């Protein structure tokens, strides 16, 4: 099988890129905007949108002259939620992580500039967290998100967070511009794990580690969250989270580092 850089089925590649781009937008967009953003000829974009609309994956808003995701696209998301192969593999590891640390643990994936929580195990007598299953939070504020962002290239991070308008805020803490995020991610790479202190919920801290696939892509991240008034050894927690991440990597087929 060849691994040429140019897609063997251009129409399929372009169709998937259109869907992925629409999924990252806050609302419907114009066809010419799609064409410009993706570098696809406008006539091709119209043909592909028409085919997607016929199958319910996109809808056209004539009054606005814009296109948005259709119900079939959300059915795909529902299918993922029902099958949850990554969640099934990670669930026992999350439970083991909570048992090992005595703190609440969770597994999340990246979706656009957010993280989506797939599994959560709340430790006994610990406060309720906002990281419930199905919840999305800004990736740049969470330990899980920072762990995954640190595994991306600088160009990929810039594409996600090009300017200050891309940075959501929850508690008044955390990076609010690209240069600040670069500093945070530099620290993550140096330590080997990500941290978060009150950026998501005041009074709570988290430690996160990315899970990489066979190509080195950050496919998910584990994190442990604990109250900031507890005497917790961050390095001990980070070691436990790292072990869980390496084990999930093994289960999804990433070669073991030698």
Q: Is the pLDDT reported for residue 4 higher than 50?
A: no
Report for 63-72, 101-110, 146-155, 239-248: range of highest mean pLDDT: 239-248
Helix boundaries (H) for the chain = 10-24, 31-38, 42-54, 71-83, 85-101, 143-150, 154-160, 178-191, 234-251
What are the Cα distances from residue 18, in Å, to 25, 60, 109? 11, 14, 21
Euclidean distance between CA atoms 40 and 18, whole angstroms:
9
Query: Predicted confidence band at 56 (pLDDT cuts at 50, 70, 90)?
Result: confident
Which domains can be identified in the chain, with CATH numbers? 10-75 (1.10.10.10), 84-251 (3.30.450.40)
Predicted pLDDT at 201: 92
pLDDT band at 78 (very low <50, low <70, confident <90, very high): low
What does the pLDDT look like over 174-189, one tens digit per residue?
Answer: 999 999 999 999 999 9
Contacts of 177 (CB under 8 A, 6+ apart): 163, 164, 167
What number is the average pLDDT over the span 75-101?
79
Residues facing 66 on adjacent strands: 61
Phi, psi torsion values for 214, nearest 5 degrees = -60, -25
Mean pLDDT of 194-212: 95
- Lowest mean pLDDT, pick from 32-36, 106-110, 124-128: 124-128
87, 214 Cβ separation under 8 angstroms: no
What's the maximum distance between 2 C-alpha atoms anywhere in the chain?
A: 61
pLDDT, tens digit, for every residue of 189-198?
999 999 999 9
Q: How far apart are CA 35 and CA 53, in angstroms?
A: 17
Cross-strand pairs, 197? 205
Q: Is the pLDDT of residue 212 over 60?
A: yes
Q: 3-state class of 122 per DSSP?
A: coil
Q: Which of 135, 176, 136, 182 is nearest to 157 (CA)?
A: 182
- Structure confidence by residue, pLDDT tens digits, 14-46: 999 999 898 888 778 899 999 999 999 999 999
CA distance 29 to 223: 35
Percent share of the chain, pLDDT over 90: 57
Q: What is the pLDDT of residue 2?
A: 42
Q: Give the integer Cα–Cα distance in Å for 224 and 194.
A: 11
Per-residue model confidence (pLDDT) at position 62: 83
Residues 201, 129: contact at Cβ < 8 Å?
A: yes
Q: Is 90 exceeded by the pLDDT of residue 113?
A: no
pTM attached to this predicted model: 0.69
The Cα-based distances of 17 to 20, 73, 134 in angstroms read 5, 13, 24
Predicted local confidence at residue 238, as pLDDT: 97
| 114-121 vs 104-111, strand pairing mode | antiparallel
């Amino acid at each position: 099988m060849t691994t040429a850089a140019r897609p063997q089925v251009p129409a399929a590649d372009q169709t998937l890129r259109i869907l992925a781009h629409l999924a990252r937008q806050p609302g419907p967009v114009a066809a010419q905007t799609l064409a410009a953003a993706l570098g696809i000829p406008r006539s091709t974009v119209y043909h592909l949108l028409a085919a997607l609309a016929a199958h319910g994956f996109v809808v056209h808003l004539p009054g606005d002259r814009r296109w948005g995701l259709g119900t079939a696209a959300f059915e795909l998301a529902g299918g993922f939620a029902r099958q949850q192969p990554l969640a099934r593999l990670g669930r026992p590891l999350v439970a083991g992580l909570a048992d090992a640390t005595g703190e609440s643990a969770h597994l999340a994936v990246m979706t656009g500039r957010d993280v989506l929580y797939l599994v959560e195990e709340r430790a006994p007598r610990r406060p309720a967290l906002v990281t419930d299953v199905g919840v999305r939070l800004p990736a740049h504020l969470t330990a899980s998100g920072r762990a995954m962002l640190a595994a991306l290239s600088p160009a990929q991070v810039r594409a996600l967070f090009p300017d200050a308008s891309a940075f959501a805020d929850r508690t008044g803490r955390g990076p609010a511009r690209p240069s600040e995020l670069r500093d945070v991610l530099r620290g993550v790479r140096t330590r080997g794990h990500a941290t978060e202190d009150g950026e998501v919920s005041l009074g709570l801290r988290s430690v996160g580690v990315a899970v990489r696939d066979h190509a080195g892509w950050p496919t998910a991240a584990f994190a442990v969250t604990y109250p900031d008034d507890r005497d917790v050894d961050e390095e001990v927690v980070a070691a436990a989270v790292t072990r869980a991440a390496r084990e999930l990597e093994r289960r999804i087929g990433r070669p073991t580092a030698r």
